[in-house]
């Protein structure tokens, strides 16, 4: 099979494209013929060696993917060859075949394409976990989504709207703000520091927002926290800006506000796997009902997988990026 292989940590341009042996599933595992793989900032950071956890070299990047099962482990009875599934792992998706635990291979609806499935689970589960279990988002509350035009932010817009919230989308360009509005955001604002808080005050009548969904970090975090209403909740999702901000904790005191971490991996695999599975069932039900209509920003051919990661690192990507593998 063909696969992209990280042999030394570095930029996307240094990722090799090689012919390697196809993996064989062991006990409790299934093998996918990968049809599509999501591309994310996480994948680019892992390949560059800039993530907090470094996988052993060599490895294929790609933490989320979808395809057809073409082999099962000797003890697997829950899955069948030919079954369409979505799956994920820390790495492995930028390859024509991938082996995953059978328990993590989730059947996908007939109406869901491989491309949609490849970019669905991580971003949408993160948003639902953040709003439901961490923020306790209530209908009619107002959510501020930072980085609203990226894969993480666009999923948050959709989930917040399904849950009955009003959404203010913050994005750095007119094109990105238009994209967020198309997804259902009630308002779209720029991220220029001098106007950021004034626009939020104007939209909320001076009250502020109830929840901040923050996958960005950097200087925007403090501005967003200062824009919270009384008893507001600021969800820490990631640091796409590249820097971890320091927040004056007296702001939490003055606003009766909470800074809340959202870590899907620990929630799903270490602490509350049963609750995470219920969240995924809810998401798939919303998809089946037509209440979620995931929008893919760009589908790259397999030959351009390195370009997909480069575009994400350079902030050129709008929406969820997907690589069509086969």
What was the pLDDT predicted at 208?
A: 98
* Residue 320 to residue 150: CA distance in whole angstroms: 6
* pLDDT for the residue 110: 93
- ∠ CA(99), CA(104), CA(110), 5° rounding? 95
Task: State residue 242's pLDDT score.
Answer: 82
Secondary structure class of 142 (helix, strand, coil): strand
Upper half-sphere CA count for residue 166 (Cβ side, 13 Å)? 12
- pLDDT computed for residue 194 by the predictor: 87
Q: What is the CATH number of domain 123-265?
A: 3.40.50.720
Secondary structure of residue 308 in the 3-state scheme: helix
Given this model, what pLDDT does residue 52 score? 84
d(CA 25, CA 51): 28
For each of the chain's 326 residues, which pLDDT tens digit applies?
999 999 999 999 999 999 999 999 999 999 999 999 999 999 999 999 998 889 999 999 999 999 999 999 999 999 999 999 999 889 999 999 999 999 999 999 999 999 999 999 999 999 999 999 999 999 999 999 999 999 999 999 999 999 999 999 999 999 999 999 999 999 999 999 889 999 999 999 999 999 999 999 999 999 999 999 999 999 999 998 888 899 999 999 999 999 999 999 899 888 999 999 999 999 999 999 999 999 899 999 999 999 999 999 998 989 999 999 97
Alpha-carbon gap, residue 172 to 146, rounded angstroms? 10
pLDDT at 326: 79
Rounded-to-integer distance, Cα 211 and Cα 137, Å? 8
Fold of domain 2-120+294-324: Quinone Oxidoreductase; Chain A, domain 1 (3.90.180)
Spans of all domains in the chain: 2-120+294-324, 123-265
Q: What is the pLDDT of residue 122?
A: 93
User: What are the two backbone dihedrals, phi and then psi, of residue 269, each rounded to the nearest 5 degrees?
Assistant: -110, -20
- What are residue 19's DSSP bridge partners? 2
Query: What stretches of the chain show up as alpha helix (H) in DSSP?
Result: 41-48, 114-118, 121-128, 151-162, 174-183, 193-204, 220-226, 250-255, 264-265, 273-288, 305-313
pLDDT of residue 270: 87
Report the distance separating Cα 69 and Cα 80, nearest Å. 7
Q: Same topology for domains 2-120+294-324 and 123-265, yes or no? A: no
């Amino acid at each position: 099979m063909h696969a992209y292989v990280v042999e030394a940590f570095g930029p996307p341009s240094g990722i090799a494209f090689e012919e390697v042996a196809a993996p064989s599933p062991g006990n409790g595992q299934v093998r996918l013929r990968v049809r599509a793989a999501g591309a994310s900032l996480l994948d680019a950071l892992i390949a560059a060696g800039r993530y907090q956890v470094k996988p052993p070299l060599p490895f294929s990047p790609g933490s989320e993917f979808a395809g057809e099962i073409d082999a099962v482990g000797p003890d697997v009875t829950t899955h069948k060859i030919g079954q369409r599934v979505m799956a994920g792992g820390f790495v492995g998706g930028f390859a024509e075949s991938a082996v995953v635990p059978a328990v993590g291979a989730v059947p996908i609806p007939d109406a869901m394409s491989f491309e949609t499935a490849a970019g669905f689970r991580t971003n949408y589960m993160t948003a639902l976990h953040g709003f439901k279990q961490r923020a306790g988002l209530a209908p009619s509350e107002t959510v501020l989504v930072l980085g609203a035009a990226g894969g993480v932010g666009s999923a948050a817009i959709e989930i917040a709207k399904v849950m009955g919230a009003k959404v203010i989308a913050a994005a750095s360009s007119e094109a990105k703000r238009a994209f967020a509005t198309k997804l259902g955001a009630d308002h779209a604002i720029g991220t220029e520091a001098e106007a950021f808080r004034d626009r939020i005050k104007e939209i909320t009548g001076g009250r502020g927002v109830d929840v901040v969904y923050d996958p960005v970090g950097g200087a925007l975090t403090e501005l967003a926290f200062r824009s919270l209403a009384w008893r507001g909740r600021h969800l820490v999702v990631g640091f796409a800006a590249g820097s971890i901000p320091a927040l004056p904790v007296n702001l939490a005191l003055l606003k009766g506000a909470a800074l809340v971490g959202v870590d899907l991996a620990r929630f799903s695999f270490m602490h509350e796997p049963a609750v995470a599975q219920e969240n995924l069932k809810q998401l798939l039900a919303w998809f089946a009902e037509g209440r979620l209509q995931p929008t893919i920003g760009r589908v790259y051919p397999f030959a351009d997988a390195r370009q997909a990661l480069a575009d994400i690192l350079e902030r050129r990507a709008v929406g969820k990026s997907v690589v069509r593998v086969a």
